[in-house]
Amino acid sequence: MPNIRSRRRLSAAVCTVLALTGAAACGSSDDGGSGSAGAAHKKVRLVTGVKSDPFYITMSCAAQEEAKAKGMDFTTDGSAQWDVSVQRPLIDSVAAARPDGLLVSPVDTSALTPSLRQIQSSGTKIALVDTEVTDASIGITRVSSDNEKGGRVAADALAKLMNEKGSVIVISVKPGVSTTDARIKGFTEEMSKYPGIKVLPTLYDNDLPATAASQIQSTLAAHPDLGGVFAGNTNTGKGIATGLKQAGKQGAVKVAAFDAEPEEIEALKAGTLQVLVAQDPAGIGRQAVDQLAAAFEGKPVQKSVGTTMVAITKANMGDPSVSKYFYKSDC
């Protein structure tokens, strides 16, 4: 049996012959143990909207798992609150690091565009996740829910619960956020089909549950016929549930809320919330990583990817095909 040294000499000789004939190329078979060659070891960063939000935690966990399977060097961070001035330093740190890929949920449709354009021009491939910017040239892919459709689903569910009469109000984060703007648009357009329901002017709580709780109580005082509320996101839904409970209107005023984070699930069980329009943040995270991997490998990339949304009620929340969309508070 030849020893190791002679086997290496034989291997080198074979490689030389193959290279001269153009038949093949020899190289190391060690690819780090996982991942495809084009994506393995690529540095990818994720910057989420609000890092403590279960929606983004669920997205981050799934993206991290998918990136690990592909052998990527993956890290994640997020804003402490939904604010351009808070997210901008995170974006600037990405610009300085110049990673191979960036998954980002911009907290404004335009304010961060110059920074993202600079990052993209330096060679970083950008995937917009959940939220978007209006500049269509930013990002090789955009992965999100059909938020306008989700708003329509919420409107139809509320109208039915309200017996198609009374007043209804939307409480959301702030204007200029692509996802919640689309939800409001879908909701208000769909509600126009119900002439017996009056849609009150939209209120914005700056993503603060305490503000949403105060706003719903003020609305109740001004509009005794209030029959329904549409909460634009997780924190707003939590605040509305608290405000209704404090006002003794739990269950009397019907609530459709976006997302399915743990406190909202508990509120659904308790009857404070009646409908949750759940997104698939895990699917968003996985799909975005997959699209970046495709770009690294020179494969086709989907410019736009839509993910599943599910209407969750007290009646169907025990179904495994529904409960799998509940959000996580940690990995």
User: pLDDT at position 280, please?
Assistant: 94
Task: Name the pLDDT band for 308 (thresholds 50, 70, 90).
Answer: confident
What's the whole-number mean pLDDT along residues 281-287? 96
User: pLDDT at position 26, please?
Assistant: 40
Look at residue 36 and tell me whether its pLDDT is greater than 80. no
Cα 41 from Cα 31, distance rounded (Å): 9
User: pLDDT at position 183, please?
Assistant: 93
Query: Are residues 231 and 255 in contact, defined by beta-carbon separation less than 8 angstroms?
Result: yes
User: pLDDT at position 309, please?
Assistant: 84
Give 113-171 pLDDT, tens digit per residue: 999 999 999 999 999 999 999 999 999 999 998 889 999 989 998 999 999 999 999 99
The CATH number of domain 43-144+280-307, selected from 3.30.1370.60, 3.40.50.880, 3.40.50.2300, 1.20.120.1200 = 3.40.50.2300
User: pLDDT at position 39, please?
Assistant: 84
Cα 203 from Cα 218, distance rounded (Å): 11
Cα 182 from Cα 134, distance rounded (Å): 13
**What pTM was computed for the model?**
0.74
Give 86-101 pLDDT, tens digit per residue: 999 999 999 999 999 9
176 or 192: which carries more pLDDT confidence? 192
Cα 251 from Cα 241, distance rounded (Å): 10
User: pLDDT at position 225, please?
Assistant: 94
Look at residue 281 and tell me whether its pLDDT is greater than 50. yes
Cα 155 from Cα 164, distance rounded (Å): 10
Give 182-239 pLDDT, tens digit per residue: 999 999 999 999 999 999 999 999 989 999 999 999 999 999 999 999 998 888 988 9
CA distances from 89 to 53, 93, 213 (A): 19, 6, 31
Measured CA angle at 44 (ends 55, 284), to 5 deg? 30
139 or 23: which carries more pLDDT confidence? 139
Largest Cα–Cα distance in the chain? 93
Look at residue 82 and tell me whether its pLDDT is greater than 60. yes
What percent of the chain stands above pLDDT 90?
A: 73
Cα 224 from Cα 205, distance rounded (Å): 21
The CATH 3.40.50.2300 portion of the chain extends over: 43-144+280-307, 147-278
Give the rounded distance of the alpha carbon of 179 from its chain centre. Answer: 9
CATH of the domain spanning 147-278? 3.40.50.2300
CA distances from 54 to 34, 330, 331 (A): 29, 8, 10
Q: Which of 310, 293, 318 has the alpha carbon at shortest distance from 39?
A: 293
User: pLDDT at position 221, please?
Assistant: 94
Task: Name the pLDDT band for 37 (thresholds 50, 70, 90).
Answer: low
